[in-house]
Amino acid sequence: MLFRSVESFFGEAPELIADIGQSLETHDVLLARSACVALRVRAEALGSKELAAATNALAAFVDIGDFTTAAGFKDQIEHEYGVLFRRLMLQR
C-alpha cells in the first residue's frame, strides 16, 4: 500500500504543484483549493507535516484573496516536496 502511495505521489505531486502555480497566476481560487487539498492529503499520508502545513497556509491566503502572500508559500511547498522526495527515494 505504501509503495502505491509513493508511486502516486511521484506522479501526481508535480502536477498539483504546477496547478497551484497556475492558480496563483490566474487568481483561480477553486483550482488552488482543489490542488492544495489533494497535495495535503498525499503529504499527510506520507508523513510530511511540513508540506501539509504549507499547502494549508497557501490555501488560507488564497481564500482571503491574498495571492501575493500565498505565492511565498508556493516556494515553501516546492522546497518541502523536494525534502519529501529525497526522503522517499532513500527508503526505496
- Which 3 state secondary structure label does DSSP give 59? helix
Q: pLDDT for 27-46, tens place per residue? A: 999 999 999 999 999 999 89
Residue 34: partners with Cβ closer than 8 Å, 6 or more residues away: 19
pLDDT of amino acid 92: 62
Q: pLDDT for 49-72, tens place per residue? A: 999 999 999 999 999 999 999 999
Q: Which residue has the cell 502536477?
A: 15
Confidence class for position 3, pLDDT limits 50, 70, 90: low
Average pLDDT, whole number, for the chain?
A: 92
Residue 28: count other Cβ atoms within 10 Å of its Cβ. Answer: 17
Distance CA 71, CA 54 (A): 11
pLDDT of amino acid 10: 82
